[in-house]
Copies of this chain bind each other. A is one copy, B any other.
């Protein structure tokens, strides 16, 4: 298991007229989580794409436990199961700043795609760096 923790400040642009963060934005924050997880192991998603491998989303899910509010400093915990199959699954938990309140949890599943749009197995360089850091 590969894990990472980062933080995100809720912006006015993230809120809606109900006064909380708009639900679709949680997937922007999940992206922050998995991008920084990759950066932590020395392999940015930008470099993965530059090598001709793309990780398009095949399935996404989120459950809302406690509403995130404007200017909250959230903690994003991201896990990647290192037993890589055809599909990569990231799991996320978003907490309040003091990490005592679960704000939301969810997952994203990603296919591996080459630059011609064909689904491929996760390439060796990706598998190796993930397993070495797990």
Q: Chain A residues in contact with chain B, CB under 8 A?
A: 9, 11-13, 15-20, 22-25, 27-28, 31-32, 35, 44-46, 54, 56-64, 67, 70-71, 108
Q: Are A46 and B63 in contact (CB under 8 A)?
A: no
Chain copies in the assembled complex: 4
The contact of A44 among B31, B44, B71, by CB within 8 Å, is B71
Give me 16 other A-B pairs in contact (C-beta within 8 A), A35-B71, A59-B61 excluded: A9-B32, A9-B35, A11-B32, A11-B35, A12-B17, A12-B18, A13-B16, A13-B27, A13-B31, A16-B17, A23-B60, A58-B63, A59-B63, A60-B61, A61-B61, A61-B62
Closest CB of chain B to A53's CB: distance in Å? 12
